């Protein structure tokens, strides 16, 4: 059983337990001779409160859904040197680095109240040179600091729940991505670095298995479906950066 399947089963069981607890609390209130309306109200209120807590718990599950392992300094010195240099230069707290074994070039940004995390595919540091790696990491750092990222992470969690996915749009806006590109090159002051990373990624590929619910958390399209994911093409992004 893969990681995504086990997470879906865990989520379903957790939600099923939530419903049972809410109904059980309503039955208990009714057994104490309260009115039917009161027992129903208590059940609905309890379900709502637990549902909110469930959503917050779900944000931490998105990282488990993505998978990967912690990238240590000893095993990935080049990755740590690049991110530490960017963070020290711009006063950004260094994120936790995780490596996902995938041949593609891509990075996902995650942010919770406890910590910030970047999930880097192994193909990223194997395919990119120093300048290109720095350019793509700068883009991920900018994405990591976006105020709306926490809501996007929660949205990714709800997308894994069968009945909820039909009411949520997992959309990526082209203009937002192009703006992030511009902000990231302001960190490196070297647009050719990100341009080179985008060109290499376009050749190597950016696909990440099981990323349909987390596509908006990746700096490049992880679904290989540009027409539906909303991510702009590498050529469009390179053209926009060339004008800076």
Give residue 147's domain range: 67-242
β-partners of residue 111 are 116
pLDDT 10s digits, 38-52 = 777 777 777 677 666
The span from the CA of 131 to the CA of 108, in Å, is 19
pTM flag (> 0.85): no
Among 43, 65, 87, the domain boundary falls at: 65
**End-to-end CA, the chain:** 47
- Of 13, 39, 65, which closes a domain? 65
- Do residues 224 and 138 share a domain? yes
Same-domain pairing of 147 and 178: yes
Burial of residue 48, with CB atoms counted within 10 A of its CB: 0-12 exposed, 13-18 middle, 19 or more buried? exposed
pLDDT along the chain (244 residues), means of 10: 55 68 74 75 73 64 83 96 95 95 97 89 97 98 91 76 61 89 95 98 95 90 80 95 91
| Paired tokens of 90 | 């711009």
The enclosing domain of 223 has a CATH number of 3.30.2010.10
């Amino acid at each position: 059983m893969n990681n995504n399947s086990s997470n879906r089963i865990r989520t379903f069981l957790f939600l099923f337990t939530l419903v049972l607890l809410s109904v059980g609390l309503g039955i208990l209130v009714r057994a104490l001779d309260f009115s039917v309306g009161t027992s129903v109200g208590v059940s609905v209120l309890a379900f709502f409160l637990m549902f909110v807590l469930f959503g917050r718990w779900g944000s931490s599950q998105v990282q488990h859904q993505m998978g990967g392992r912690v990238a240590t300094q000893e095993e990935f010195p080049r990755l740590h040197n690049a991110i530490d240099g960017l963070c020290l230069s711009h006063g950004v707290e260094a994120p936790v680095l995780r490596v996902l074994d995938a041949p593609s070039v891509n990075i996902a940004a995650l942010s919770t109240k406890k910590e910030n995390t970047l999930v880097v595919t192994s193909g990223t540091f194997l395919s990119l040179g120093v300048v290109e790696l720095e350019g793509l990491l700068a883009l991920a750092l900018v994405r990591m600091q976006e105020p709306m990222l926490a809501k996007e992470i929660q949205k990714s969690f709800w997308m894994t729940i069968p009945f909820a996915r039909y009411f949520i749009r997992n959309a990526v806006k082209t203009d937002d991505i192009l703006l992030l590109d511009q902000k990231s090159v302001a960190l490196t002051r070297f647009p050719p670095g990100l341009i080179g990373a985008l060109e290499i990624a376009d050749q190597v590929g950016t696909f990440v298995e099981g990323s349909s619910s987390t596509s908006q958390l990746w700096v490049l399209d992880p679904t290989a479906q540009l027409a539906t994911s909303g991510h702009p093409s590498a050529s469009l992004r390179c053209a926009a950066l060339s004008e800076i």
